[in-house]
Structure 1
């Protein structure tokens, strides 16, 4: 999906008790009282869009449009930044919030156009939020990001730590997703067995919260029991199969493969999807193809 608009946003559920997520939420609340741009940084799947929508909900702009623009979609961002419809777009968004996801996926010339559009949006009372799964400070050091966009975006930053650094949140999220999935799938799962819980707490979750949600979904589709066991996880979580067999150790090359599979699972295996996955992993397209061949992930 390139864009979506929400005019009546329900309060986003920010689940977790870790210090990292509580700090991110607190910064969101403070930023909600301002109008300056905010940059959300963090790995794929950590919840940048969720925090951005939470900021909109907590602000005085609630009830006005919240628009997501995915900068990883070449056609979508090119059309959005076209000068033909600037006025109509900004008129529609007036008083609302505009969130540009994955700004580092743009070319330098597109980044420059984006920065100019953001200034026009602010002049029309549109709050600008931006997101990146790549470290923009490193990109600036490597001269891989437009300098003006960098300085504009980093006026205020909110970093969302990866799930492997937020162990306290894993079981909170697990309980939350099980409850929601029980309603959606008409199941009666009560939780994880102690063995499965041990695996969940030990697994590094390279795909972060989104991978956890997908793993639980597959496991709950497979089980007719009250508790999800390690067997259900092994059957449902193909990416983590090696880890589930030996949860104490994971070779570095296996971790690299998991990250690669996670990115391709999100963006797809088309040429466009692979380009987006390469940008998200901060590697060249040629390197991605070499790793796809090495790990045989396309089969």
Structure 2
């Protein structure tokens, strides 16, 4: 059972933290003063973690952190602060804090941060600046942990010719201040490419802030991007710095930018033109020096023509463009990424899996990765968890991966009609059915065919893809079954 010391002069906070952490299986001790906390650390020498408030009576968090680190340099310390201030965060990270959390405390956030600190090796605790650390490293560590920022990506670049071309483009545009539009499907690595551009820029020592615009609600998007003043709207109990303000001096990455509302697009246009912004409910302009990188899985010019995206905003952003091809179009990169993800899984699971069986490599190279790198990474992580031997076997793969040929209806030894090979797996057409393009989203005909497909696929799975048994289960003859399969493939190929 891990031992945690909670240091806070607010007795209510100590009581609540003690109750909450005890419920989750931790042994907790509490102290209301810095002096008592240091005595406890000397008395009970096997603490695993310290949670320390930044403002204690008579002592600030920096002083307390230094005293703890002086005696116990490997002990992870999480700072609790009521001030969402990037400078404070960077300062405590420089001095060796593992992380910081801001009040009000959210149970899931504090629990995840504690678990991360306890699972980290001593080498993962950032050294104080002046030792082996740097100010830039401290900033990177902060932005990696707060607000979903990323600094140390587990993404690598492929070896294919098309990826070498992307690297050349990154090297070319990185040192400039150009805005860059990165096009690519979901999960293809757009954010990692944005990070690489940032690392090669003159802003690399400053924050990299990544925002998923698709996850921002229409009501709160302005607050998330530009911040708000106290009392600006119901629930705005404190002043808040927005993502643009936090990224000042560095780079902000706006993923799926076409999802932003028209009003926010207008505000963005002002930021680009005047390099100034104003918090929601504020009356004072804040000067900005930030590079903007954006990404989209749809063409912004097409979105502009449809009225979904401001054309003048598109032209402001369109200084340089990078295309990220989907994984299925660069098969030579698949095993490069798969081995990298396996290495990461080995480190996480403390395993020594050496690689993939020839059958698995063949499946990986021929499978259509609609989720791109994100899907590949998750498949490898799952397979590593299920693997007991030295090599990942096909039995450790998800059903839809290991049986992809059957799901394509290509495995037809007794077929009486030869169907064309689909461009995409038939099992994926429910979510992105080509019928929706032909008949519309609310088409009764499309819904009927989709339902037929689901029933046939279920029957085939239950009979291990025996067409005769599946036909009997569906109460149709074999020829009807084959004709319906052929219909699905033809519709999928259009």
- Within 5 Å, give how 1:18-97 maps onto structure 2: 18-75=160-217, 77-82=221-226, 84=228, 89=242, 92-97=246-251
Q: Distance in 2 between matches of 1:80 and 1:94?
A: 14
More helix by share: 1
Residue aligned with 2:214, SS? coil
**Partners of 1:163 and 1:205 within 8 A in 2:** yes
Q: Which residue of 2 aligns with 1:256?
A: 428
Q: Distance in 2 between matches of 1:167 and 1:252?
A: 15
User: Given the two structures, how large is their TM-score scaled by the length of structure 2?
Assistant: 0.48
Deviation at 1:32, TM superposition (A): 1.1
Q: Which residue of 2 aligns with 1:211?
A: 375
Q: Which residue of 1 aligns with 2:260?
A: 106
**Partners of 2:275 and 2:288 within 8 A in 1:** yes
Q: Which residue of 2 aligns with 1:240?
A: 401
Q: Distance in 1 between matches of 2:314 and 2:146?
A: 23
Residue aligned with 1:72, SS? helix
Deviations 1:115-145, CA, capped at 9 Å, x for gaps: 3234444862211111111222322333321
Residue aligned with 1:131, SS? strand
Unpaired runs of 5+ in structure 1?
A: 261-283
Q: Could you say if the C-alpha distance between residues 197 and 11 of structure 1 is closer, same or farther in structure 2, counting changes exceeding 3 Å?
A: closer
User: Over alpha carbons, which structure has the higher Rg?
Assistant: 2
Number of residue pairs aligned between Structure 1 and Structure 2:
269
Instruction: Find 1:117's aligned residue among 271, 274, 277.
Output: 271
Q: Which has the higher contact order (CA 8 A, sep 6+)?
A: 1
- Within 5 Å, give how 1:162-181 maps onto structure 2: 162-181=326-345
Q: Distance in 2 between matches of 1:159 and 1:43?
A: 10
**Partners of 1:136 and 1:145 within 8 A in 2:** yes
Q: Could you say if the C-alpha distance between residues 99 and 176 of structure 1 is closer, same or farther in structure 2, counting changes exceeding 3 Å?
A: same
Instruction: Find 1:199's aligned residue among 349, 358, 363.
Output: 363
Q: Which residue of 2 aligns with 1:143?
A: 307
Q: Which residue of 2 aligns with 1:272?
A: none
Unpaired runs of 5+ in structure 2?
A: 1-144, 230-238, 277-286, 411-420, 433-439, 455-494
**Partners of 1:70 and 1:77 within 8 A in 2:** no
